[in-house]
Chains A and B, each alone.
Chain A
Amino acid sequence: MVAWTDFERVTIKDIFSKIDYEVVGPAAISRCLIVYPWTQRYFAGFGNLYNAAAIKSNPKVAAHGKVIMEGLEKAVKNMDNIKATFTELSTLHSEKLQVDPDNFMLLGDCLAIVVAAQLGKDFTPEVHAAFQKFLAVVVSSLRRQYY
């Protein structure tokens, strides 16, 4: 069980109410594919990922970005049981998708940067820290079913 402070609960819900999933999701996943190009290995079926412009305009990347945000929203709605919420997703990433779990935080870091760019000064160090903690819990839950 993760111990969330009141500030953290309110802050996470607040961040997710302020960000536009249709913008942040695609921006985060495309940033991850651009900044850490080895992550492209998991998206061979997505077509043209040849350069930053291609990645940013790739519709499959954008669609996947939204899928990711929907997944994260489940965690926001179940902050007291993120572990259980992501059991299936963890198994999926481990057994079917076979994603190296060290990559999860790469996407997490990109998400922090995209949210920071969106919220600017409102993304204070305290708000940022709450978000990093949320990301750490999400990543940890996604790692759980790997063996």
Chain B
Amino acid sequence: MLSKREKDLIKEIWERLTPVAAEIGADALLRMFASYPGTKTYFSHLDISPNSSHLLAHGKKIVLAIAEGAQDISQLTVTLAPLQTLHAYQLRIDPRNFKLLSHTMLVSLACYLGDEFTPVAHAAMDKYLSAFAAVLAEKYR
């Protein structure tokens, strides 16, 4: 459960990161590919080498979606409806992988924000990303 304070904190952090969405997103993806090589199997159609335009574009897409969700967390199911359908019927990514990207996203945030990524911010962000992943997987079955 997210308190109002946590929702505000999450919204504020993602607003701040929107200008560097591509950088953060690509970093999180690269970390996921390096630590969890099985995740690469979903990207055989893209060039996922560091700094590739595919990687940056894709990272940006992901971060912007997360940032958009953060604008009004109570409306996640509405905001994510199209992405739910995409992931369930087209991409069919095993939802266990969402946890992996959530973790590497947190690591990217830690690298980027340093000490500003306080335990309280970390807890809030972990909860938000878990909720985001859960909503994303809702249409799977």
Chosen A-B contacts, 29 in total, with CB atoms closer than 8 Å, are A31-B119, A31-B122, A34-B119, A34-B123, A35-B119, A35-B123, A35-B126, A52-B120, A55-B119, A109-B106, A112-B103, A113-B110, A113-B117, A113-B122, A114-B110, A116-B107, A116-B110, A117-B115, A117-B117, A120-B114, A125-B30, A125-B31, A125-B50, A128-B31, A128-B34, A128-B107, A129-B31, A129-B35, A133-B35
User: Once the chains bind, are A125 and B111 in contact (CB under 8 Å)?
Assistant: no
What's the dominant secondary structure at chain A's contact region? helix
Which residues of B line the A interface, CB within 8 A? 27, 30-31, 33-35, 50, 103-104, 106-107, 110-111, 113-115, 117, 119-120, 122-123, 126
Given known contacts A34-B120, A56-B119, A109-B103, A116 and B33 CB-to-CB distance under 8 angstroms: no
Hey, which chain B residues are within 8 Å of A30, CB to CB? Answer: 119
Q: Flag if A35 contacts B122 (CB, 8 Å).
A: yes
Knowing that A117-B111, A125-B34 touch, tell me 18 more A-B residue pairs with CB under 8 angstroms. A30-B119, A34-B123, A35-B119, A35-B123, A52-B119, A56-B119, A109-B103, A113-B107, A113-B110, A113-B117, A114-B110, A117-B114, A123-B107, A123-B111, A125-B35, A125-B50, A128-B35, A132-B35
